[in-house]
Amino acid sequence: MGYLRIENLSKHYGQKQALRDFSACFTAGIYALLGPNGAGKSTLMNIITRNVCPDSGGTITWNGTEIVRLGTEYLAKIGYMPQQQGLYNNFTAYRFLGYMASLKGLKRREAALEIPRALELVELTDVAAKRIGGFSGGMKQRLLIAQAILGKPEIVILDEPTAGLDPKQRVRIRSLIQSLAEDKIVIVSTHIVSDVESIADQVLLLKDGVLAAQGAVEELAACLPVGCPPTLENIYMQYFGDEGEAPC
């Protein structure tokens, strides 16, 4: 299993600093990137997936080698579910995954093995031949997760996979994420605490482009006022609550 190391990464959009001096190291496990809208979560994910170019100065290495040197070898290790992604409503789920597999350069034989496996994992096998247009929000999100895991990526990046889903669907996505993470780096962004509280090995709190804190929930809870229950919700309030607003 590899490791992904990020050092001193920054990104400006004009005057706006979307990410400031971000450093972290990822090995197998679930990493929750938690922060309100505009915190820089998608920017970081776009940089890791090489869709956005960071400011000069920072580095990203995979097993010690800069990812720019690894080129497509690095990209093949990544599975990415972007925050905004169009789905082709006239495609069937199977055809969509076939299309995504070909974009990823999977051979026909590989795709024929991997697509059923991915469909199985996200529990869409029964509707594989149905058109996406008739899918519920939760089914669409699960299909997007399925495309992210085609090609056996070692790094899976899910940008707000539970956006717009009801609580029942969120639970389903949560256990799906858990089942992915055995031998992979899974980085999942959200602004909803309950999505990751019970499944994240590490939580990264991102505030105005700055990594405000990182650790397991128990570790982060050590900074809470005495007597305050050690929940991620309270930790979140501690960092993101309005001025003077105590977590409990």
Taking CB under 5 A as the binding criterion, the range among 20-28, 75-83, 150-158, 212-220 that sits at the site for Mg ion is 75-83
Taking CB under 6 A as the binding criterion, the range among 13-21, 86-94, 177-185, 233-241 that sits at the site for ligand ADP is 13-21
Which of 1, 12, 13, 113 is the binder for ligand ADP (CB under 6 A)?
13
- Residue whose structure tokens are 């190291």: 25
**Closest of 154, 151, 153, 196 to residue 178, by C-alpha:** 196
Which residue number, 12 or 117, has a Cβ lying nearer to ligand ADP? 12
* Contact between 42 and ligand ADP per CB under 6 A: yes
Beta bridge partners of 11: 19
* Contact between 202 and Mg ion per CB under 5 A: no
Choose from Mg ion, ligand ADP, none: what does 39 bind? Cβ within 5-8 Å by kind. ligand ADP
Which of 9, 31, 43, 48 is the binder for ligand ADP (CB under 6 A)?
43
Q: Write out the two tokens for 235.
A: 């930790």
Q: How far is the CB of 188 from Mg ion (least distance, A)?
A: 12
* Contact between 12 and ligand ADP per CB under 6 A: no
* Residue 171: φ, ψ to 5°: -60, -40
* Interatomic CA distance for residues 156 and 148, integer angstroms: 7
Residues 16-55 that bind Mg ion (CB under 5 A): 41-42
Using alpha carbons, list the distances in angstroms from residue 52 to 64, 94, 103, 203.
Answer: 21, 29, 19, 23
* Interatomic CA distance for residues 222 and 224, integer angstroms: 6
Choose from Mg ion, ligand ADP, none: what does 214 bind? Cβ within 5-8 Å by kind. none
**Which one-letter amino acid corresponds to residue 168?**
K
| Binding-residue total with ligand ADP (CB under 6 A) | 11
Rounded (5°) CA angle 26-49-64? 45
* Interatomic CA distance for residues 238 and 21, integer angstroms: 22
* Residue 78: φ, ψ to 5°: -105, 135
* Contact between 69 and ligand ADP per CB under 6 A: no
1 within 8 A of 158, measured Cβ to Cβ: no
* Contact between 147 and Mg ion per CB under 5 A: no
Which of 37, 56, 72, 84 is the binder for ligand ADP (CB under 6 A)?
37
* Contact between 162 and Mg ion per CB under 5 A: no
Q: Which residue is nearest to Mg ion (CB)?
A: 42
* Contact between 54 and ligand ADP per CB under 6 A: no
**Closest of 74, 72, 73 to residue 60, by C-alpha:** 74
Binding site for ligand ADP (CB under 6 A): 13, 16, 18, 35, 37-43
Residue ranges in contact with Mg ion by CB under 5 A: 41-42, 83
